[in-house]
A and B are shown apart, each in its own frame.
Chain A
Amino acid sequence: MVMACRVINKRRHMGLQQLSSFAETGRTFLGPVKSSKFIQDEECHESVLISSAVRLLENLDLTNAVGQLLNEAVQAQNNMYRTGTSTLLFLVGAWSRAAEECLHLGVPISLVVSVMSEGLNSCIEEVVSLHVPIRNVFDLTDNTKTFSGLETFNVSLFPFLQIPSGTGLRQEEHDLKDVTSQSLAVCSLSGRPVKSPKLFRPQAKVKTDKNTSQTPQVLKNSLLADTRCRKSVLTHSRHFSSRDDNQWISKPDGFLEQRGAAAPKTYRCDELVELEVGLSHGDHSSMKLVDEAVRLQCQSSGMQHGSSSRPFLLDISRIFTWCLPGLPETFSCVCPGYITVVSITSTAVIKELQHQPTRVVLIEGDLTENYRHLGFNQSTNIVTVSESTKFQQDSLEELWTSHVLQVLIRFNVNLVLAQGSVSERLIEKCTQSKRLVIGSVNSNVMQAFAEASGAVPVAYVTQVNENCVGSGVYVTFWRNVPFSASVQIQRIAIMLKTEGMNLVTVVLTSPIPAQMQAKEDRFWTCAYRLHCALKEQKVFLGGGTVEFLCLSHLQILAERSLHKGNQGCSEWLRNTSSWLASSVALYRPTVLKCLANGWHRYLSTLLCNTASYSSECEASTLIQQHLQNAVDSGSPLSYILNEYTKLNSGIFNSGISDKLEEIPRVYDIVTPKIEAWRRALDLVLLVLQTDSEIITGLGHTQINSQESEGFLFL
C-alpha cells in the first residue's frame, strides 16, 4: 500500500483547467435553444442522444477527481431541483476561467476565494429586487385562459431584444372564452379547450379521432414555433405598456412596484397561464402537458376539499410519466388516474369490471410464493419431507396460489396492485376468476391509490383483512394505442381511477426512441419549475435580466472599490486579522471584474445560442453597450426596468398595445437558480484551493506505468 501524492498546482492550475474544459462541452445547452449531442462509445459503437448537462456528464468518462466532483455537483442540483444544471455547468467553466485569470494577475488564492464568494453573495442580495410575487393564480374559477392559446408567442431570451411575434391567435382565444366560460377548461391536444371530461365515461375513441384529424395543423404550428424560436422572437409586459410615468421603486419587502399616476400597482403575476408560459423557456410542448396536469390536480383537489383557503401546490409525487417510444408526438397527453399496460388476455376481465367500482388490495412487495419481506433471511438448510407421494415439488406454489385466490374471493377483491413482480401462475388463475392483478406499480402510484381508495398496503396476502381493502376504483380501457413495437403487440392500455385521486398520468410519446429520455427530462424540468414557483410564491423576472443585474452590480462594486479604497473591505475576508484583510482593497476590483466576466460570458453565450447573433463577439459587444449604459445610469435596476418599458411604449406603442397586454413575460425560478450559482462557485473555489491530489492504495508499479512524473511516494 503506497500513498502517492501529486502536486497539481505548480505553474498553472490543472484542476481549474480541467473544470473549464469539461464545462466547455456543455456550452450549447445554455438557454432555451439547445443543440443535441451524440455521444459515441468508441469500443462498442453505441451512441446516445443527449440534450442536457446531466445526461452529458452521466455519459462522459469522468474518472479523474475533478470530473467526479463536477458530476457530483451537477447530479446534486438535478436531484434537488431538476433544473439549473446547464447554468451550473456553464458557470463552473466561466468562473474557473475567471479564477485562473486572477491567479495569472497574481492575486493570492485566499483573496480570490473570499472576494468571489462575497461578491456572489452581494449579487444574490441584489437580485432580490427582481422578485415577482405570485398570488392566487388559482383564484379565478373562471380561469378559462388556456395554455395552448399562447403557445405561438415565444419567449424572450433577453429583455432588450424583444420583437413581437404575430398576434393572430389571440383573437381566436378570446372567442373561445365564451364557449367554456363556466367550467375549468382542460386542453385537448388540438389546443382547443374542451370541457373537462366527465370521469369514467369512455370517450377515448372520440378523442382519438379528433386528434388524428387535427394532427397536421398542430404539427405545422409547432414547426412554426420552432423556427421562430431560432430567430428569437419576443414579448412584452402588459404591465409596462400603458403607463406614462415609469418610475420603479423597490418596496422594502423586495417586490417591485410601479409608482404611476394611479394608485401604486404591485408588479405581480396573477395568472397561471402567464406563469407557465414564462417558465416554459421556449419548451411549450412540455409545459402544455404540465399545465394540463396542474389543472387536473387542481380539479381533483377542489373536489376533495371544496374551496380550500391554502394555496394550491402542484404535487409532483402524484404525477406519473409513461413513455411510449415510436408514436408520433401528438399522442402525448395527460389523463387523470393511472395508465398502464396489461396482457391482452385480460381484455375479458376488464370488460367485466368496467362501469362498476372495484375493491382493491395493495401489495408492497412481490406477489410470489417465495417472496419474503425485506430483512427476512431465508434459511437454506431446511428441507421438508413428506410421507405420501401425492404432494409434488411444485404443489407449494399451487397451494399458495389457491390460498391467495381464496382470500381475494373472501374479501370480494377484483383488483390487486403489487409494487414488485407477480407470479405468472397467479395472474392466470385470477384472470380465470375475473380478477385483475397488476405488477411493478410505482410506489407513488401505490401511495395515491392508498390515499384515495382507503386501502392499506400490506406485504403478504395473508395479512389482508376488511380494513386493508380499498374500494371505488374504476377500471376502463384507455385509448387504443397502436403499439408499433412487436413486443407490445400482445398488450392493451388500461386506465385506473378513483374519485378524488389527484394522480395524473402523463403519456409521453416520441417518434424517435432516442429522444424519449430527453423528452421525459424536459417534462420534469418544466413540472419542477412550476412546482417550485408555486411553492416559493415568487419568481424572478427572467430572460437574462437577473444575470444582467448581477453583471452591472459587480461592475459598479468594482468601480466603487477602486475609488473608495479599503473602506469596509475587511469584512470581506474570513480571517480578518491576516495581512490579506488590509490588501483586499488592492485586489478587489480585479477579482470582482473577473467574476463579472463570468456573467458576461454567460449572457453572450446565451444570446449566441439563440442564434440571434452570428458570433459571440457581436453578442458581447451588445452586452457591453447595455452594461455601460446601465452603469452610467447609476441604478442598473431602474435601467433594466426602463428598457422593458421603453420597448413597449416607444417602438410598439401604436395600435397593438392592448393586445400586448396579454403577451407573457419570461420568468425564472428563484432558489434553484441561486443554488446553481452557489454550487458552481463552491466547486470552483473548492478546486482552486486544492493544491494536491492524494491517490490512495496504488502500488509503485501501477503509477509508474501511467505517468510517474510529479508523484511523490510515502
Chain B
Amino acid sequence: MSRLEAKRPSLCKSEPLTSERVKATLSVLKGVVTSCYGPAGRLKQLHNGRGGSVCTTSQSAALLASLPVTQPILKILTTSVQNHVSCFSDCGLFTAILCCNLVEKVQGVGLTTTTAIKLNKHLLSLCTEYLKSEICGCRIPIDFGSTQLLLCLVRSLLTSKPACMLTREEVEHISTLILRAFLLTVPENAKDRIILGKSIIVPLKGQRVIDSTVLPGVLIEIPEVQVMKILPIKKSDSFKVALFCASLSGDLSETGEGTVVLSHGVSLENAVLDQLLNLGRQLVSDQVDLVMCQKVIHPSLKQFLRTHGVIAMDRVGVALMEPLSKMTGTQPIGSLNSVSPSSYGSVKDWCTAKFGFKHFFHLIPNETTVCSLLLCNRNDTAWDELKLTCQTALHALQLTIKEPYVLLGGGCTETHLAAYIRHKTRDEPESILKGDGCTQTELQLMSEAFCSALETLAGSLEHDGGEILTDRKYGHFWSVQADSPSAVNWPDLLSRCGCGLYSSQEELGWCFLRGAHHPFMPQTCLPREASGSANDLTLDCFTAKLSGLQVAVETANLILDLSYVIEDRN
C-alpha cells in the first residue's frame, strides 16, 4: 500500500551570497582549508564521533571527501575542488583557498556581478598567458637529463604534508623512492608515443619508513603456508602465464532464481570440478608455468596444477589485474570453457620475498614498466596520509613529463604573479580590456581584489604569526618574525625567499605584502643558471597549479553569479 503525501513547495532564496548564514559557513570552510595549507599547516582529525577510525590529515583530497556539506554554495565549491583533485591530485587547497578569497574580495569591491566576472576572466587569461609564455619569471623548464629538479618537486610535495610525520632523512628516502618508482614506469625504448606503466603501492604498515623500498614488477601477498608450496624454479628465460578473472572456485554462482531439482546421485559440484580439471589439463598441455586468478582457485585444481609443475596463485584481487595483464601481456580469461593460446603472456622470473611479517610472491617482468612501491609508516593514519601523498607525487611527475615545467613554490609564484598583474593593469590597461565596456577604474579595482586574493593565499602559508614581505626586484615571498621593527636592516633578518631561489644577500627592496605599495615590474625571464645552481628549491607542479588557478577563478565566478537558490524540499 502506498501512501500519498502532499508535495511541499520548493524554497527559493534570492541573492544567497548576502545571507549572513552563508557568509558564516563560507568563512568556516575558508578557515578549515586555510589552516591546512603548506608545510606548517595544521592538521584536522576526521572521525564520526562514534568510535570510527580517525583520520588525521591536511590534504584536500582526504578532507573534502569526508566533509558532507549541505549549503549549496559550499557544495559548488567543494565539488569543483574535488573534480580538480581527481584530475590533477595536487593543488586542491590552493584552489579552494583562492576561490574563497576571490569571492570575499570581489564582494568587497562592490562592482556589478557581470562586470566583476568579465574582468575576472580577463585577469585569469592574463595570468595563464603569462605562465605559459617564455618570459615567465616563476617557471623553470625541466631537463629530464638530471633528477635534481624532479627530486625538489617530490620533496616539496612531501614536506607540505606534515601529517606524514617524516623526518628529513625519511623525506629524502621516500623522495628518491618515488622518483625511482616513476622512472621505472617509463618504457625504455620509447617511440613517438610514450605509454607510462603503473606503480603499485603495497602497504606495509607498522614498519619503519626507512624500510620502504621499490621493486620492479608486481608483488602479490601470500600466506606463509603457500610459500612452502611454491615449487623450486626451473631454468628458463621466460615463463608462460595465464591470468583468470573468472572465479575458479568451483561454485555454481549463476543458478538463477527458482529451485534446481536434482535426482539423487548427481553432484553438480563434481560436474563443475570435472570441468575445472579439464581446464587444468588444457593449461598443462599448453605448457603454462604460472596460473593466476583474481578470485579463488579450487583446492583440487591447485593440487592438480602443482603435481604437474604449474604454480597456482589465487586471490590476486581486482586491483592487481590491470598491472598484471599489462606486465605479462596476458589477456584476462573470463570463461572456463576453452582458453585461446593467444591470451597467455610471459614473465622473466619470479621469487618469494619476505618484508616485515608479510610474505610476497614477486613477479619480475621482461620489460619493466610496472613496479611496486612497498610503503611503510609507523601508524595507520600517517600511512594513509603518506600513501595519498605518494600517489599525488607520482601523478605530479606524470603531469610534468607532459608539460616539462615546474613553478616556484613557497608562495613565490603567487606574489610574483600578483606583482606582474598589478603592473600590467596599471601599465597597459587597454590591451587587457580590449574595449568591452569596462572602465579602467573598474579594472584597477578588480585587479587589486584579484591580486590581494593571490597575496592572501600566499600569506596563508604562515601559521605561526609571522609577517610576509615581498621584494621589489623579483616579487618573491619572504617571511619574517612578527613585530620586527620596520627600519631594520632586512638582510639580517631574512634568509631565503619562499622557494629558496634567492638569498637575502642582495639588496632587493623589501616591503610588507599587506601594505599599499607602488606597482613594479618583477623581473621576468628566469636566468638559466638559477635553476641549475639551487638544489633545495620548493617547487610546484605546473599543470596542476595552472588548472587550480583556472578552476578557482571559474568557480568563484559561478558562485558570484548565483542569484537564486531553489531548494526542492520533497
Contact = CB atoms under 8 A, between A and B. Distances in A.
Contacts of A490: none
B69 interface: yes
B43 interface: yes
Contact of B466 (A375, A578, A695): A578
B162 interface: yes
If over half of B's interface residues share one DSSP class (helix, strand or loop), that class is named, otherwise mixed; here it is: loop
A582 interface: yes
Interface in A374-396: 374-379, 381-387, 391
Nearest to A419: B225
B388 to A, nearest CB: 16
Interface in B537-553: 538
A108 interface: yes
A113 B206 contact: no
B261 A574 contact: no
Interface string B243-278: 000010111110101111111101010000000000
Contacts of B54: 65, 68-69, 72
Nearest to A444: B224
Q: How large is the interface on B (under 10, 10 to 19, 20 to 34, 35 or more residues)?
A: 35 or more
Interface string A659-696: 00000000000010001001100110110011111111
A675 B378 contact: yes
Nearest to A582: B495
A683 B296 contact: no
A312 B70 CA distance: 63
Interface stretch (B234-242, B282-290, B379-387): B379-387
A695 B251 contact: no
B299 A463 contact: yes
A121 interface: yes
A675 to B, nearest CB: 7
B49 A695 contact: yes
A584 B44 CA distance: 26
A391 B48 contact: no
A579 B480 contact: yes
A458 B303 contact: yes
A682 B494 CA distance: 30
A575 B39 contact: yes
Interface string B197-234: 00000000111100000000000000011001100000
A576 B503 CA distance: 11
Contact of A379 (B163, B260, B466, B467): B260
Nearest to A68: B54
Contact of B495 (A1, A467, A576): A576
A317 B70 CA distance: 52
A469 to B, nearest CB: 13
A416 to B, nearest CB: 16
Contact of A72 (B43, B48, B69, B380): B380
B518 to A, nearest CB: 25
Interface residues of A, number: 89
Contacts of B7: none
Contacts of A678: 378
A122 B72 CA distance: 51
Contacts of A63: 50-51
A690 B382 contact: no
A80 B206 contact: yes
Contacts of A94: none
A188 interface: no
A714 B74 contact: yes
Nearest to A586: B481
Nearest to A682: B165
A2 B479 contact: no
A691 B44 contact: yes
Given A76-B205, A376-B250, A385-B262, A109 B500 contact: no
A384 B262 contact: yes
B260 A383 contact: yes
Most buried by B among A3, A66, A456: A3
B228 A694 contact: no
Nearest to A388: B264
Interface stretch (B27-35, B113-121, B146-154, B319-327): B27-35
Contacts of B71: 714
Nearest to B47: A65
Contacts of B298: 373, 376
Nearest to B39: A575
A582 B493 contact: yes
Contact of A458 (B169, B299, B497): B299
A431 interface: no
Given A697-B48, A714-B69, A382 B25 contact: no
B67 interface: yes
A384 B378 contact: no
Most buried by A among B48, B49, B206: B49
B9 interface: no
B335 interface: no
Contacts, number: 255
A385 B264 contact: yes
Given A383-B261, A690-B56, A463 B379 contact: no
A695 B159 contact: no
Given A3-B69, A109-B463, A65 B45 contact: yes
Contacts of B464: 108-111, 580
A307 interface: no
B260 to A, nearest CB: 5
B47 A379 contact: no
A456 B229 contact: yes
B225 A575 contact: no
Contact of A685 (B45, B165, B259, B481): B165
B167 interface: yes
Contacts of B43: 686, 689-691
Contacts of B262: 382-385
Nearest to A703: B49
Given A109-B464, A576-B536, A374 B495 contact: no
Given A76-B206, A379-B260, A713-B25, A577 B496 contact: yes
Contacts of A113: 162
A451 interface: yes
B68 A3 contact: yes
Contacts of A446: 225
Nearest to B205: A76
A381 B481 contact: no
A68 B47 contact: yes
Contacts of A562: none
Interface in B477-528: 479-481, 493-500
A266 B570 CA distance: 82
Contacts of B180: none
B10 interface: no
Nearest to A702: B49
Contacts of B303: 458, 463
Contacts of A376: 249-251, 296, 298
Nearest to B260: A382
A698 interface: yes
A598 interface: no
Nearest to B482: A579
A714 B28 contact: yes
B381 A72 contact: yes
Contacts of B35: 691-692
A5 interface: yes
A579 B382 contact: no
A691 B46 CA distance: 11
B466 A580 contact: yes
Interface string B114-151: 00000000000000000000000000000000000000
A411 interface: no
Contact of A381 (B32, B42, B258): B258
A3 to B, nearest CB: 5
6 contacts: A69-B379, A72-B379, A110-B40, A447-B225, A691-B44, A714-B74
Given A375-B296, A578-B479, A696-B48, 11 more contacts: A375-B314, A381-B259, A385-B264, A450-B228, A576-B495, A576-B496, A577-B497, A685-B165, A686-B163, A690-B43, A696-B46
Which 3 residue pairs across A and B have the least CB separation, nearest first?
A: A375-B296, A386-B264, A459-B299
